[in-house]
Structure 1
Amino acid sequence: MRLGIVLIGRNEGARLVRCLDSVAGQAAQVIYVDSGSTDDSMAAAEARGAQVVTLDTSVPFTAARARAAGYAALDGVDVVQFVDGDCGVDDGWLEAGLAALGADDRLGMVTGWRSEIHPDASVYNALCHYEWRRPAGEIETCGGDMMVRVAAYEEAGGWRADVIAAEDDEFCQRLRKAGWRLERLPVEMTRHDAAMTRFGQWWRRAVRSGHGFAQVGDIHPEFFRRERKRVWVYGLVLPVIAVIGLAWSGWLVLLALAGYAYNYARTFQGLRRDLPTRQAAHHALFITLSKIPNMIGMATYLQRKRQGAAMEIIEYK
């Protein structure tokens, strides 16, 4: 099968160079899609033999839009590996993905394990590392690093450029609804560099996730249902109860705090199955707290939809 690779990025610098070098000589075509970089990303891509596609800056950037533009620049390929420019592709992944797709005609997409390069650099990087490590086997969704059969891509309709977050989940839902199987292989796929060292970066990323819950849930009502429900409860209802309690009764404040304590305890117990106690405690704290910025993201989407405003990307780095 003839392989094409689509890389996307914006001001990724050395991370993009690492990504380009990790796929050198392994595909019939390598497309780099640039979303308004002001560094030397485009020159670095051209120097390494990639075809560069630049996006019109008058239209809001989204990862989905960039991937769609990269796909449109491919010619005569059977399979596409999408990879974010802040990731490096692991040795052996492309061969493993192609072998899996070649062995099963109804397998429309495969992904593998994404890892953080520096999981110990911050609690935020560690959170990402844990988020990426999911069990192998048949799956419903995955992240943006994925290998897709062209026939499946075309049948599902490709990426929706207006989805600014969780666009990979949205695309996977359409692949499945078109009758294709999705699978995570027990193979290391990419090394990601979240480069999150500040609380504000984590907060912005959580806001973006909330926007994704709302927008993708609007497109596919059956999806992200549990996540949206939790955000409404812990990101809006309990804070409102606490604020009312400050004016009327301290018991309401205690009730809200008890709700958060319950959520934290359940999250902590679930994480302890996979993580050391100290790390599980840290992760549970941020996962519990994340419902508040998630709520801000959901509200942002609902306001944009009501006003007919553009779905502009929410960046965290």
Structure 2
Amino acid sequence: METDATAVDAVLIGRNEGARLVAALDSLRGQVRRVVYVDSGSADGSVAAAEAAGATVVRLDRSAPFSAARGRNAGFAALDAPGLVLFIDGDCALVPGFVDAARARLAQDPRLGLVTGWREEVRPGASLYNRLCDWEWHRPAGPITSCGGDILVRAGAWRSVDGQRPDLIAGEDEEFCLRLASAGWRLERLPLAVTRHDAAMTRFSQWWRRATRAGHAFAQVGRLHPRHWRAERRRVLFWALILPAAILLAVTVSPWLAVLLALAYPVSGFRIAAMLRRDGVPARNVPALAALLVLSKCPNLLGMATFWTRRLRGRAMTLIEYK
């Protein structure tokens, strides 16, 4: 097949997404030329649903650990002469209008390799954790250095950096963006929604594992790109390791000194709460979300430690799943 530089094909990745995958497939109908669904060992009928929707299905085998990056690479490889490729996850539904707007923006700038938008949570009020996701995903529009996985990318740009790194279990999208920018491509976020997403987080344990996975990404991507997420790693080390150690040491010297040091946590919480209010987070959610963001440094540290333990022991980087 001859390449059509303006045609859009879609790659979805998923594992046991159920009804969310059906909604994702339905949202693509009439908006893209072809759909490839890459499945990572689902046991819920996802493969049958994708086949019924007319998608080309790629089943990842268990010869290597599953990862989102491995799935996206396999999906891209299954496309015949792609021009533009839309990548979304199987728990996301494409918002009408994004593809046309993103394709038009790419046509305006030949050095623009990737366009993204905002991922929106479909049920932000269902839980504090869903609300937190919705806040995290609404970043400023314009030129960017990295983004999440909902992207429209030129096939040539994808090939120029050999796609994503399959050994990354999280942060693979950001790492791909960093290499894309280093290769001379520009990246941009449009001021509109690209997908609607169902985080489906209702339990504290799910949030904890998601935050642990984020810490793993801070460490793993940071080893490859030391400047990226440097501030995040420093904050994790300070709030979850250095300050607690200082408080414990202070207890042996002066209880009042320990109390004074411990006050840094509520002060940080008040600063985060002010930021959340500026970003338009509903007032009733602000205190709890601020507390979660202060606490998140602990699972972040656990994730960073998990990465370095795995690396030093030569173990595989397996997924940290929260759903």
Q: TM-score, normalised by structure 2?
A: 0.95
1:295 equivalent to 2:301? Answer yes
Deviation at 1:59, TM superposition (A): 1.5
1:82 equivalent to 2:87? Answer yes
> 1:34-53 residue pairs with structure 2 within 5 A?
34-53=39-58
| CA distance in 2: counterparts of 1:15 and 1:169, whole angstroms | 24
1:109 aligns with 114
SS at match of 2:36: strand
Equivalent of 2:66, from 61, 66, 71?
61
1:2 aligns with 7
| Deviation string, structure 1 residues 246-267 (Cα, Å, up to 9, x no partner) | 5664245324422212321221
Q: Which runs of 5+ in 2 are unaligned?
A: 1-5
| CA distance in 2: counterparts of 1:71 and 1:238, whole angstroms | 45
AA partner of residue 224 (structure 1): W
1:175 aligns with 180
Larger deviation: 38-47 or 240-249? 240-249
AA partner of residue 38 (structure 2): V
AA partner of residue 117 (structure 2): G
1:241 aligns with 246
* Runs of 4+ residues over 6 Å off in structure 1: none
Deviation at 1:186, TM superposition (A): 1.2
AA partner of residue 271 (structure 2): R
| CA distance in 2: counterparts of 1:252 and 1:298, whole angstroms | 29
AA partner of residue 7 (structure 1): L
Deviation at 1:193, TM superposition (A): 0.4
Equivalent of 2:223, from 199, 202, 218?
218
* Contact in 2 for aligned 1:244/1:252 (Cα 8 Å): no
Equivalent of 2:287, from 269, 272, 281?
281
Deviation at 1:243, TM superposition (A): 3.7
SS at match of 1:81: strand
Q: Which runs of 5+ in 1 are unaligned?
A: none
1:187 equivalent to 2:192? Answer yes
AA partner of residue 309 (structure 1): R
Deviation at 1:76, TM superposition (A): 0.7
| CA distance in 2: counterparts of 1:143 and 1:33, whole angstroms | 18
AA partner of residue 41 (structure 2): G
| Deviation string, structure 1 residues 102-140 (Cα, Å, up to 9, x no partner) | 111011000011100100000000000011111111111
| CA distance in 1: counterparts of 2:215 and 2:245, whole angstroms | 18
SS at match of 1:172: helix
2:312 aligns with 306
Deviation at 1:315, TM superposition (A): 0.3
AA partner of residue 277 (structure 1): A
- Alpha carbon RMSD of aligned pairs, Å? 1.3
Deviation at 1:80, TM superposition (A): 0.6
| CA distance in 2: counterparts of 1:252 and 1:143, whole angstroms | 42
> 1:192-203 residue pairs with structure 2 within 5 A?
192-203=197-208
1:91 equivalent to 2:127? Answer no
| Deviation string, structure 1 residues 280-309 (Cα, Å, up to 9, x no partner) | 322211111100000000000111111111
Deviation at 1:19, TM superposition (A): 0.1
Give the paired residue count.
317
SS at match of 1:11: coil
Equivalent of 1:268, from 248, 251, 273?
273
| Deviation string, structure 1 residues 16-56 (Cα, Å, up to 9, x no partner) | 00000000133222100000000100000000000000111
Deviation at 1:87, TM superposition (A): 0.3
1:139 aligns with 144
AA partner of residue 65 (structure 1): R
Equivalent of 2:28, from 23, 30, 47?
23
AA partner of residue 134 (structure 2): H
| CA distance in 2: counterparts of 1:252 and 1:54, whole angstroms | 58
| CA distance in 2: counterparts of 1:106 and 1:305, whole angstroms | 36
Q: TM-score, normalised by structure 1?
A: 0.97
Task: Calculate percent identity across the aligned residue pairs.
Answer: 56
| CA distance in 2: counterparts of 1:46 and 1:242, whole angstroms | 57
